[in-house]
Amino acid sequence: MADRLAGKVALITGAARGQGAAEARLFVAEGATVVVTDVLDDDGAALVADIGEGAHYRHLDVTQELEWQAAIDHIRATFGHLDVLVNNAGIGIPGTIIDTSLADYRRVIEINQVGTFLGMHVGAPLLRDSGGGSIINVSSMMGFVGGPARVAYTASKFAIRGMTKVGAIELGPMGIRVNSIHPGAIETDFIRAETRHLLPVDKLPLQRIGTPDDVAKLALFLASDDAAYSTGSEFIVDGGWLSTTAL
């Protein structure tokens, strides 16, 4: 076992599966105590049981401020401090500007954008009281460019990128670093089997789809003291997608 996060307590949202689950596994392996949160209670409990010591599950709907406050209060009472917050929870509902319903648009914004805001809003005071720490907001490569039939998702991910900048400015004096991660196409349940074949993997500079571990390793760096002088920055993990016009 390594120890890049030894003694740290981390909360990860949307961590029952995919990128969040990979982050939880890696963080625990690196010495952290991790509070895995999600609305997928069965998957979350199974993940924690599989990881074993160092992982704890808690139900958290990121759109609900009272649930956020209860989770943070629980961490304060149980562990005494919080050092890392990963705002990973997110969804995508395909739809063009014309076809997307207001209800679908609001649903994506509530989970992706409002959920990230609430994480920083409610979590920052405990990070401050703990002597500082790291907030990692998971955006997307679509926080840089638009995507067809992804109006709500793109809007939310641009917003996360902007909120990260504000968070870095306002929370930096408290010793809290705030950065955003921008994954490209990652092999998770988010990418459905029926659409995976449409990804132009052969045109990517690295010529492969990403894995949840690719994202988790970047999150580990930002969570650790190795990133002590990095804040307000975007960290891209997209296999070179944004570097080429071939796509």
- Residues carrying an active site annotation: 153
Q: Alpha helices, DSSP H only, in the chain? A: 18-29, 41-51, 65-79, 102-108, 115-129, 151-171, 193-196, 212-223
Spell out the residues 6+ positions from residue 115 whose beta carbon is closer than 8 angstroms to its own. 13, 62, 63, 87, 89, 90
Cβ atoms within 10 A of the Cβ of 66, count? 9
- Kindly state the tokens that stand for 106: 């609001």
Contact indicator for 143, 92 with CB cutoff of 8 Å = no
17, 191 in Cβ contact below 8 A? Answer: no
Q: Helix or strand or coil: residue 247?
A: coil
Cα–Cα dist 38/13, whole Å: 6
What tokens appear for 124 in the block? 């920052």
DSSP 212-224: HHHHHHHHHHHHS
- What SS3 class is residue 121? helix
The secondary structure of residue 235, as a DSSP letter, is E
Decide if 154 contacts 142 (C-beta within 8 A).
yes
Query: Amino acid identity of 204?
Result: L
